[in-house]
Chain A
Amino acid sequence: MSEKKAKIALYWCASCGGCEEAILDLAEKILELVEKADIVFWPVALDFKKEDLEKLPDGSIDVSFINGAIRLSEHEEMVKLLRRKSKLIVSFGSCSHLGGIPGLANLWNKKEIFKCVYEEKTVENPEGVVPLERARVDEGVLELPSFWNSVKALDQVIDVDYYIPGCAPPPNVVEKAIEVLFSGELPRKGTVLAGNRALCYECPLNETKPEEISIEEIKRFHELELDPERCYLDQGVICMGPVTRGGCDALCIKGGMPCTGCFGPLDDVKDYGGRGIAFLSSIIRGEKEEEIESVLEKIPDPMIFYLYSLPKSLIWRRAMREWKGDDVE
């Protein structure tokens, strides 16, 4: 008697493709996955169409892994469809979990983005051609999905059961997550399938920190010979380790790079960037305004605190000037 195989689906929204690569990074383990499950929908790798998905009975997919941020109406449509068809939805990767790097586009709106891409930065567009949602051509009507003003994370559009964080999720995290999902003992809904403490806990350089850590000057990492055996924060380089969820085995640190925060915040934290600002400004020195300002000047762009998580933060986009007030912000 053969065991019925689980059905899984994988889909990508506004994505770079790295999360798809992450599946491939499982290397031989992917064969184990294929043994356990039937992939019923994976547009990037297998030739499935939307109609194939629509034909499946509701709730018949056991787990759907969705990566990429939600930017277009098509993304919204597809993920809502997948939600209907799946028992569990797993948010795969930073873009889907937190909005990811595409989330930084929330500093602008559709009008500004289109202007930049199609009018200013494009090579040659003398006729000012911009994408339309509907266009009548000889052959009929062409439709393009609509482009939203703001990027959203997956759980801002559909109900999500679990999250696998990372940009892209490292193989060990993906392996463990798949184990858990197929174990039959599911954790509490909404769990992020990674570590429960900040990265410093598992970082090999944590013990090289002095008891009182304090930065005199912030350094960009091209400004110094980074000592790979000493905590990067202690050397003045901005590392997001303290505020970022761990579980990745500190791969970036071990590779000579400070953490940029792709696993996102811990459970108790409401705003990743807020906590990031709090911890960094707490360890710089300076009591006079000018001193403090000159140290902070070395931070290239405060958005490094929201590199992956802007759409999920408390102030999830730049406030646009809609109000006809007297003053300009």
Chain B
Amino acid sequence: MKIPGPRIGVYVCHCGLNIAGVINVKEVVEYAKKLPNVVVSRDYVFMCSAPGQNLIKEDIEKEKLDRVVVAACSPSMHEPTFRAALEDGGLNPYLLEMVNIREHSSWVHSKEKEAATEKAKDLIRMAVMRASLLEPLEKIKTPVENKVLVIGGGISGLRAALDLAERGFFVHLVERSPVLGGKTPRISLVRGGKSGREILAPILEKISSSEKIRLHLNSEVKSVDGSIGSFKVKVLKRPRFVNERCNLCGKCEEVCPIEVENEFEFGLNKRKAIFLPYKGSYPEIYAIDQEVCTKCGECVKVCEPGAINLEEAEEEFNLEVGAIIVAAGHDYYEPPKGEYSYGLSSKVITTLQLERLLSDDGPTGGELIVDGERPESVAFIHCVGSLGTTPSSKEYCSRMCCYASLKNALRIKKKYPKTKVFVLHKDIRTYGLDEDIYWDSLEEFVRFLRFEDPPLVRVKDGKLEIEVFEVNLQERLLIPVDLVVLSVGMVSPRGLDELSSILKISCGPEAFLKEAHLKLRPVESLSDGIFLAGSVTGPKDVIESIISGSAAASKAAGVVSKEEVEVEPIVAEVNEDLCSGCGICVSLCPYGAISIKEKEGKRLAEVDPMKCKGCGSCAASCPSGAMQQKHFKDRQIMAEIVSLREVMV
């Protein structure tokens, strides 16, 4: 369709003397008059001022302009200003082209006035040729579903869900284990004084009584489609096999023939295939581990309330939400067998196992008994799996492990004052207000030994011996101990790879999820509408995880509190008459916005304008020119390129 015209107005700004002091503005205005399709060419002292903008608006009406070129400062400064002026004047805001003759000409070629003027002419000519081909565009609007999906029922996910519910938004909370709480219930002493369970209790109470939160336990997200404002999520719910009729009598547990490692106790003891996740859990009901259960049916026989149904099937269901918060948590570094003799002696344990031993509700009732014996000497080794200490270690610091081990060192000292406690460390990073714990430890005669090369832990006749080169003494020490506790770091959780590709958000180099920008856009992922909370973005302790959950909730609320969401229209689009379905474009899109659909038995590419962020990579690779990016179409850019040379007027 041939547009009659176009009729272009060119406006050259003086910007006071900023431009006019170097560039011969009058000469440029005269030159622009001669360019194809230019019907008006003016200059003004400050185009961004009200009278300057009025010049444009009046000309749009009087001269029936349908394209505007403004030669002035950088578009990053005033493109929105002039776009608004066009809109005010009745013209589509995308019919504007700005030319940068200040930052890119007068300010950087101030001694070469002639050359700067020639450059301005060239740039304006290129812009006029491009402007002739610009097309009106409308912002893409889409209605927002005012529900939020929270993935992960740990402390940060729970905090986020509660914050949102309290603001009046409906939350679907999907958790893959049979209970809420994540890692927190396993920690008996959290920074600040309470146990993990004490911190969780009030939160769990509010959540269980909230009408705005729907819990989906034993469930995992299988696929996510759509984009901000309208995500379509497929969830798979695995059967728990036990329902609310369970009266916690425990008879089923007694008769169950299958025994596996108890992950709640970090492998310190065993549990059955049918088990109660932990006392005081929410919900406090037994569950069957589907992966090891043989369905022998012994438990059914002894269940009086009839709470067990081994025929319970998997369920798949769909959710529609406007925003997603990923609070998938973390795991801990598992030292490979042999590292510090871990796995070669039962007297080498991790801080997490120690945490459970010191817990009242742990396998030893809070008594420090390892393998039937109470150790008289304990050595903590720090930075296990961190700071690149050993070949299989990560490079980063997990920030909370120094605190965790010193806290437990003090607990041991307080409970068993005669126990010798050593802490072998690289640096001590009990940061911020927790510096005190270091001094408290010193006062309790915890012995600190500093190393650079990792200490060696040897097992000799069932006894442990540590060899370490102490950096301050510059001496090699040999220390026999009864118990070695490895202070392990945090790692990204199992299955994060899969989740990140389902959500199409990326992990950073350390395998945690990547935030859009640490300072400018925290708790946001690079996909609009998907937020990240808690330790899934990197090591955090309980308090930091709670804060980050609230931050993510706040941002998610910002999305779902709106009626509509607007998206820039500078998106890619496929010419279906030209597309051959070759599929080259699909793998290039970082947002998964392009898919292959079938039309009349043939493959064709399709762009989801809601997911497209407008980079143009697909358009650059399209071998037939079928894929174009609006506002940056091949012919628009090429018109600029071709007019590097003078055009025939």
Contacts and interface: CB of A to CB of B under 8 A. Distances in A.
A315 interface: no
A251 B20 CA distance: 64
Interface of B: 577-584, 586-588, 595-596, 602-603, 617, 620-626, 634, 638
Given A201-B602, A207-B603, A211-B595, A283 B578 contact: no
A129 to B, nearest CB: 44
Nearest to B587: A212
Given A198-B624, A275-B623, A213 B586 contact: yes
Interface string A188-204: 00000000111111000
A54 to B, nearest CB: 37
A212 B625 CA distance: 19
Contact of A213 (B579, B580, B583, B595): B583
A44 interface: no
Interface in A82-133: none
B588 A269 contact: no
Contacts of A279: 582, 584, 621-623
A197 B584 contact: no
A198 B627 CA distance: 13
Interface stretch (A4-12, A34-42, A238-246): A238-246
A196 B586 contact: no
Contacts of A269: 623-625
A29 interface: no
B603 A206 contact: yes
Contacts of B583: 200, 206, 209, 211-213
Interface string A254-288: 00000000000010111000011011001100000
Contact of A198 (B580, B621, B634): B580
B587 A206 contact: no
Given A275-B623, A282-B621, A246 B584 contact: no
A211 B581 contact: no
A214 interface: yes
A241 B582 CA distance: 8
Interface of A: 196-201, 206-207, 209, 211-214, 241-243, 246, 266, 268-270, 275-276, 278-279, 282-283
Contact of A283 (B587, B595, B602, B620): B587
A241 B581 CA distance: 11
A200 B624 CA distance: 11
A231 B588 CA distance: 19
B580 A197 contact: yes
Contact of A268 (B580, B584, B586, B625): B625
A148 B381 CA distance: 81
A183 B595 CA distance: 41
Nearest to A207: B603
Contacts of B581: 200-201, 206
A275 B626 CA distance: 12
Contacts, number: 87
A282 B580 contact: no
Nearest to A269: B625
B603 A278 contact: no
Contacts of A266: 578, 624-625
Contacts of A211: 583, 586, 595-596
Nearest to B598: A207
Contacts of A243: 623-624
Given A199-B580, A246-B580, A266-B578, A214 B634 contact: no
A198 B625 CA distance: 10
A283 B585 CA distance: 9
Contacts of A241: 582
A241 B584 CA distance: 11
Given A206-B580, A207-B603, A279-B621, 11 more contacts: A197-B578, A201-B582, A206-B581, A206-B603, A209-B603, A213-B584, A246-B580, A266-B625, A275-B622, A282-B587, A282-B588
B587 A214 contact: yes
A279 B625 CA distance: 11
A209 B582 CA distance: 8
Contacts of B578: 196-197, 266, 268
Nearest to B589: A212
B602 A242 contact: no
A255 B221 CA distance: 45
7 contacts: A200-B583, A206-B582, A209-B603, A246-B580, A279-B623, A282-B620, A283-B588
Q: Which are the 7 A-B pairs with shortest beta-carbon distances?
A: A268-B625, A243-B623, A282-B621, A198-B580, A242-B582, A200-B582, A201-B580
Contacts of B584: 213, 242, 279, 282-283
B580 A276 contact: no
Contacts of A283: 584, 587-588, 621
B514 to A, nearest CB: 15
Contacts of A246: 580
A209 B587 CA distance: 12
Contacts of B634: 268
A23 to B, nearest CB: 29
A197 B604 CA distance: 11
A301 to B, nearest CB: 20
A268 B586 CA distance: 21
B368 to A, nearest CB: 50
Contacts of B624: 197-198, 242-243, 266, 268-269, 275
Nearest to A245: B624
Contacts of A276: 623
B561 to A, nearest CB: 36
Given A212-B586, A279-B621, A200 B580 contact: yes
A175 B634 CA distance: 35
A29 B582 CA distance: 34
B131 to A, nearest CB: 21
B576 to A, nearest CB: 10
Contacts of A196: 577-578
B502 to A, nearest CB: 15
Nearest to A209: B583
B580 to A, nearest CB: 4
Contacts of B582: 198, 200-201, 206, 209, 241-242, 279
A266 B625 CA distance: 8
Nearest to A198: B580
Contact of B620 (A200, A242, A278): A278
A276 B583 CA distance: 14
A42 to B, nearest CB: 36
A241 B332 CA distance: 50
Contacts of A207: 603
Among A200, A246, A269, max chain B CB count under 10 A is at: A200
Contacts of A282: 584, 587-588, 617, 620-621
Contact of B580 (A242, A275, A278): A242
A213 B581 CA distance: 12
Contacts of A200: 580-583, 603
A244 to B, nearest CB: 8
A196 B579 CA distance: 10
A57 B143 CA distance: 71
Contacts of B588: 282-283
Nearest to B584: A279
Contacts of B587: 212-214, 282-283
A270 to B, nearest CB: 7
A148 B583 CA distance: 42
A279 B605 CA distance: 15
A79 to B, nearest CB: 28
A94 B627 CA distance: 26
Contacts of A209: 582-583, 603
